[in-house]
Amino acid sequence: QVKLLQSGAALVKPGDSVKMSCKASGYTFTDYIIHWVKQSHGKSLEWIGYINPYSGGTNYNEKFKSKATLTVDKSSSTAYMEFSRLTSEDSAIYYCARRVIDWGQGVMVTVSS
């Protein structure tokens, strides 16, 4: 069945970057868009953007355009999101999702000095 396995929790310092992964299995990786979503503690969800694994084409929420970079490695069926210039506001759980249908388990990112 479809599985999206995300990388482990990250503790990072303010100003640093973090790169998280989302390894897909159970389907043809290049057939479906991968979305990324942010969930701040106890709060609602924000759509960050998506990447088309076939073409590498991306679409970002303007709010995250200067913050997030989405990439894929087709050879390993893995999508990546890099979040840069981190602040405390970026502490959250980040999810990848195939077509906003199937979701990974989430990555908790904590930004703290």
Partner 1 sequence: DIQMTQSPSFLSASVGDRVTINCKASQNINKYLNWYQQKLGEAPKLLIYNTNNLQTGIPSRFSGSGSGTDYTLTISSLQPEDVATYFCLQHSSRPFTFGSGTKLEIK
Using DSSP bridges, classify how beta strands 18-25 and 68-73 pair: parallel, antiparallel or unpaired.
unpaired
Q: How many CB atoms lie within 10 A of CB 20?
A: 21
Cβ proximity to partner 1, 46 vs 91, nearer residue = 46
**Residue 98 binds partner 1, judged by CB under 8 A:** no
Position among 34, 51, 104, 109 found at the interface with partner 1 (CB under 8 A): 104
Cβ proximity to partner 1, 32 vs 95, nearer residue = 95
**Residue 63 binds partner 1, judged by CB under 8 A:** yes
Cβ proximity to partner 1, 85 vs 99, nearer residue = 99
2-14 exposure pattern, b = at least 16 Cβ within 10 A, e = fewer? eebebbeebebee
Cα 4 to the center of its chain, rounded Å: 11
Minimum CB separation from partner 1 for residue 3, in Å? 12
